[in-house]
Homo-oligomer: A and B are copies of this chain.
Amino acid sequence: MALRETRKYSQGSALGGVNPDLASERQTPSFSVEKLTALLDGGEENTRIRRAVVEAIESDPVFSRENQYFQSQNEKYEAAVRKAVHLQKKVREMGWTENGPEFKYIYRALSGEVALLLHTIFMRSISVLGSDKQIAKWIPLAMQYQLIGSYAQTELGHGTYLQGLETTAVFDIATQEFILNTPQISAMKWWPGDMGRSATHTVVFAQLYVRGKCYGVHPFIVQIRSLWDHSLCPGITAGDIGPKMSFEHIDNGYLMLQNVRVSRENMLSKFCEVQPDGTYVRRGSQQINYLTMTAVRVALISHEAVIPLMKACTIAIRYSVVRRQSKLKPGEEEAKILDFQTQQEKLLPHLAAAYAFHFINNYLQDLFNRGYEEIQRENFNMLPELHAFSSGFKAIVTQYCASAVEVCLRACGGHGYSSLSGLPSLCTRILASCIYEGENTVLFLQTARFLIKCFIAASAGHPVPPSVTYLAAVKPGKCPAKSKFDFLSPDIYTQAYQHAAVRLISSTAAKLQALIQSGVKKHDAWNECTVQLVQAVKAHCHYITVKNFAETVERLETKGGIQQIMKHLCHLFALHGIFSNTGVFLHDGHISGAQMDMVTASYLDLLAVIRKDAVPLVDAFDFTDKTLNSALGSYDGQVYQRLYEWAQKSPTNTQVWMLYYSQATSALARAEIVCFSSNKSYTHKSGIRPFNS
């Protein structure tokens, strides 16, 4: 196995094979790496398909990410569009279909660095919100890319609060058109992806007015650029919103509308319609809309948070066994930095978290699939739970992963800070996941509403969704652990998490009630509880994650050492959570100070256990070198050689450049611009003689 992988991954025969310090880490894994990979993929067959997709994408030069770290915003955008265009061709060539098994691996194989993703959202919103006639008209055009679609919801002044959108769409009975306007600067559409330069059409969300009456926000299909020459349509002002912390390959755009007229048929009208005479008709349930949001949030957990964390762990852990720095014992060789307890403590809990979140993501996918089936049968009962889960977990997982990726970066010291490590781009990109598709605090509070509602219902003996029945079954007892080994029991720690979640939810519910009873208005009371509500939701999500991890491990087969190592990781994840949030468990004495010392001891012991398998555990994520695109994280561990080779390709070393320099007594005082071209030709007027050597 090791040999096969070495052959497969090593791109560095010129670099001298696998670094012995990394090779030695792979010699005696306690488990089968290949079996673990298959487990993560959901079966060997999936692994095979995934690898085939990755291979097809990575062997195609158009999808190369080789010089990515040297590109300007413009170049990144161009590359992403080129990839999007080429991808259509590739998909047909390879025979990958949207419902085929390969499709879901494409985005991963591209590391998300592709443009025109909003085109899919454009289509989805027409499919979900449009009438049959609208679907029949627009979807084929979009499928054939006769237009490029976008989705224009967010405005300069409004993100999370959709009711506050200011763009207007006034129905003109005379012409049977809607007149769209951006009434003031804060109403300008801002942030929509693919809209700055690419899109020809977009779905604009605007306040609908008929005969002076406002009917709230509705979606309208609007053409913004000519299909002839791509120039802006009359009444349209649009452009790129400029540089961002990441996502420079996407032309997030702005859009201003001045008396832009679209026909009556352009309002998406599955649920609401304006009839020719101006009569406003509403029909059916819009609840299904929540499902779209839920689907997007669940999907992003894996792609934008868990996979990036897995990559960061792979890079940081491989580097940490190659990097040797200072001596653990005098007289010995310098130690691998992963042998320092502090380094283990930085990285290994996050490795465990990557697994924990992978499994909670599977759980959410299952929940979503069940919910989806129910909804197909017009049963919307699961929607609140689904919505609450996807919100809470989107928030907690992105937040955790964002800070974990940053820890991985810092754990690599100076070299982690170099773009060539691949960590800065992971770090800046993942940060956005805390903001988009629902700002995390807003999402936490949506989940909080659900939990408080369920808590009150459960307390009154009413039925609640299965995932929150635990709220009714409060056991006030103390943790029974008597030694540090007792904390290696899922029953003990899962119970502790459950206890903490119930305590936080119930005490905040009590505070809320007390405030209201004391005369504080309901909304003010809610606001005064929000800091604690967020804590309660986090505790709830943490509990569910630990419980799900433990249950998943329980179900694993015992062969190949997989269950054993996953058990260790589950313990580590759970005890790290207690160790990092001791107060939550100590507060009412569920865990005592003495017991907390046992947690600490067990937790630190586990670090040393996981340490031994750290490299096999990241190898199992099965990222290719091209996917990681990291000078520090390659399979062969030839870190320094690769940093040097890559640095030499930097435009700062190859492009024409200018240097302020001098030629006289005071070099800087009479500075001149000397242009050095890449072939090292230069101009100068006079020189001073070297006074050294």
Please give, as numbers and ranges, the residues of chain B lying within 8 Å of A147 by CB-CB distance. 667
Q: Is the beta-carbon distance between B328 and A527 smaller than 8 angstroms?
A: yes
Instruction: Give A644 to B239 CA distance when docked, in angstroms.
Output: 10
Please give, as numbers and ranges, the residues of chain B lying within 8 Å of A323 by CB-CB distance. 157
Q: Which of A154, A229, A583 has the most CB of B within 10 A?
A: A583
Please give, as numbers and ranges, the residues of chain B lying within 8 Å of A241 by CB-CB distance. 418, 643, 647, 650
Q: Which residue of B lies closest to A184 (CB)?
A: B640
Q: Is the beta-carbon distance between A652 and B684 smaller than 8 angstroms?
A: no
Instruction: Give A646 to B230 CA distance when docked, in angstroms.
Output: 24
Instruction: Give A674 to B157 CA distance when docked, in angstroms.
Output: 34
Mark each residue of chain A from 591 to 603: 1 if its CB lies under 8 Å from any CB of chain B, else 0.
Answer: 0010010001000
Q: Is the beta-carbon distance between A418 and B692 smaller than 8 angstroms?
A: no
Q: Does A151 reach chain B (CB closer than 8 Å)?
A: no
Please give, as numbers and ranges, the residues of chain B lying within 8 Å of A88 by CB-CB distance. 668-669
In the assembled complex, the CB of A505 is this many whole angstroms from the nearest CB of chain B, namely 15
Which of B145, B324, B647 is within 8 Å of A239, CB to CB? B647
Instruction: Give A523 to B418 CA distance when docked, in angstroms.
Output: 32
Instruction: Give A682 to B432 CA distance when docked, in angstroms.
Output: 34
Please give, as numbers and ranges, the residues of chain B lying within 8 Å of A534 by CB-CB distance. 342
Q: Is the beta-carbon distance between B242 and A420 smaller than 8 angstroms?
A: yes
Please give, as numbers and ranges, the residues of chain B lying within 8 Å of A228 by CB-CB distance. 684, 687-690
Q: Does A449 reach chain B (CB closer than 8 Å)?
A: no
Q: Does A657 reach chain B (CB closer than 8 Å)?
A: yes
Q: Is the beta-carbon distance between B436 and A414 smaller than 8 angstroms?
A: yes
In the assembled complex, the CB of A406 is this many whole angstroms from the nearest CB of chain B, namely 7
| 12 A–B contacts from the bound complex (CB under 8 Å) | A70-B242, A78-B658, A88-B669, A148-B667, A156-B640, A157-B323, A231-B682, A233-B690, A245-B427, A341-B528, A410-B435, A586-B586
Specify how many copies of this chain sit in the oligomer: 2
Q: Does A475 reach chain B (CB closer than 8 Å)?
A: no
In the assembled complex, the CB of A243 is this many whole angstroms from the nearest CB of chain B, namely 4
Which of B243, B593, B646 is within 8 Å of A589, CB to CB? B593
Instruction: Give A186 to B600 CA distance when docked, in angstroms.
Output: 37
Q: Is the beta-carbon distance between B660 and A157 smaller than 8 angstroms?
A: no
In the assembled complex, the CB of A56 is this many whole angstroms from the nearest CB of chain B, namely 18
Which of B116, B154, B201, B652 is within 8 Å of A74, CB to CB? B652
Q: Given contacts A158-B325, A587-B586, A652-B77, are A233 and B693 in contact (CB under 8 A)?
A: yes
Instruction: Give A428 to B648 CA distance when docked, in angstroms.
Output: 23
Instruction: Give A420 to B254 CA distance when docked, in angstroms.
Output: 14
Please give, as numbers and ranges, the residues of chain B lying within 8 Å of A416 by CB-CB distance. 435
Q: Which residue of B lies closest to A185 (CB)?
A: B640
Mark each residue of chain A from 553 to 564: 1 if its CB lies under 8 Å from any CB of chain B, else 0.
Answer: 000000000000
Q: Which residue of B lies closest to A399 (CB)?
A: B410
Q: Is the beta-carbon distance between B414 and A652 smaller than 8 angstroms?
A: no
Q: Given contacts A329-B524, A688-B227, are A644 and B156 in contact (CB under 8 A)?
A: yes
Q: Assign chain A's interface to a size class.
A: 35 or more
Please give, as numbers and ranges, the residues of chain B lying within 8 Å of A17 by CB-CB distance. none
Residues of A275-332 whose CB lies within 8 A of B: 323-326, 328-330
Instruction: Give A73 to B410 CA distance when docked, in angstroms.
Output: 22
Instruction: Give A148 to B667 CA distance when docked, in angstroms.
Output: 8
Q: Given contacts A240-B650, A650-B242, are A156 and B662 in contact (CB under 8 A)?
A: no
Closest 8 CB pairs of A and B: A582-B583, A242-B650, A228-B687, A583-B583, A161-B326, A245-B424, A240-B652, A145-B668
Q: Is the beta-carbon distance between B419 and A434 smaller than 8 angstroms?
A: no
Q: Which residue of B lies closest to A240 (CB)?
A: B652
Instruction: Give A643 to B254 CA distance when docked, in angstroms.
Output: 11
The segment out of A79-87, A458-466, A615-623 that lies at the interface is A79-87
Please give, as numbers and ranges, the residues of chain B lying within 8 Å of A542 by CB-CB distance. none
Q: Does A261 reach chain B (CB closer than 8 Å)?
A: yes
In the assembled complex, the CB of A418 is this many whole angstroms from the nearest CB of chain B, namely 6
Instruction: Give A582 to B539 CA distance when docked, in angstroms.
Output: 15
Q: Does A679 reach chain B (CB closer than 8 Å)?
A: no
Q: Does A251 reach chain B (CB closer than 8 Å)?
A: yes
In the assembled complex, the CB of A531 is this many whole angstroms from the nearest CB of chain B, namely 5
Q: Does A613 reach chain B (CB closer than 8 Å)?
A: no
Q: Does A417 reach chain B (CB closer than 8 Å)?
A: yes
The segment out of A44-52, A191-199, A379-387 that lies at the interface is A191-199
Q: Is the beta-carbon distance between A604 and B251 smaller than 8 angstroms?
A: no
Q: Does A59 reach chain B (CB closer than 8 Å)?
A: no
Q: Is the beta-carbon distance between A243 and B420 smaller than 8 angstroms?
A: yes
Q: Given contacts A582-B584, A652-B196, A669-B89, are A521 and B329 in contact (CB under 8 A)?
A: yes
Q: Which of A343, A424, A534, A644 has the most CB of B within 10 A?
A: A644
Instruction: Give A345 to B530 CA distance when docked, in angstroms.
Output: 10
Please give, as numbers and ranges, the residues of chain B lying within 8 Å of A406 by CB-CB distance. 406, 431
Q: Does A506 reach chain B (CB closer than 8 Å)?
A: no
Q: Does A72 reach chain B (CB closer than 8 Å)?
A: yes
Which of B230, B240, B414, B653 is within 8 Å of A661, CB to CB? B230
